[in-house]
Chains A and B, each alone.
Chain A
């Protein structure tokens, strides 16, 4: 079945760049997503990329997609202590009705930013 894999932990120093990596299995996914979760809170949609793109930039965030290798990455430039959170990669899958919206999530990467 569909699966999304990501490393569980990443530690960086404040001001450095963070790169969080993810691999997925469903080649028919139309959208791939990055969500951020702070402790005790829901998930916040950070950014998403359409599968026919290979890069998307949004302020400090850069998403790279290698469709051939089914590899997605999120780069956070100038990482701040406020970026400390769990980051989830997700891919969209089609439900039985044919519409998308059901997502398969990775287990999340806990980003720790040291001052």
Chain B
């Protein structure tokens, strides 16, 4: 089955800890994205990557880091510098010559202990 897999489904972070959210896709998409969703809010872009070994900051990149060493994988690290990390995190990849269709994973709920 082709798709985007996010893991884990639920993640808990202790104070001062870095945690990494996994995102893998087997759709052969070049572009991948990380969004943050807070209750009653729209999605906000954290980071995106148009191609392997390249990524760009989105609107709320502070306290987060990413890597794109492989086309299939785009992990997101929530660092201790992110003071309010509790949110639902969504990974997406894009299809189309101009990346016009986004496909989303099922999300990771991150909570602070």
User: A residues touching B (Cβ–Cβ < 8 Å)?
Assistant: 4, 8, 30-31, 33, 35, 40-45, 48, 88, 92, 95-97, 99-108
User: B residues touching A (Cβ–Cβ < 8 Å)?
Assistant: 4, 6, 31, 33, 40-43, 45, 48, 50, 56, 58, 90, 92, 94, 96, 98-107, 109
Q: B56 to chain A: closest CB distance in Å?
A: 7
Q: A9 to chain B: closest CB distance in Å?
A: 11
When distances are taken between beta carbons in the complex, the residues of chain B under 8 Å from A96 are 56
Q: B59 to chain A: closest CB distance in Å?
A: 9
When distances are taken between beta carbons in the complex, the residues of chain B under 8 Å from A104 are 42
Alpha-carbon distance between A66 and B106 when the two chains are bound, in angstroms: 32
CB-based contact B107/A99 at 8 Å:
no
Q: B25 to chain A: closest CB distance in Å?
A: 12
Alpha-carbon distance between A103 and B99 when the two chains are bound, in angstroms: 10
CB-based contact A45/B102 at 8 Å:
yes
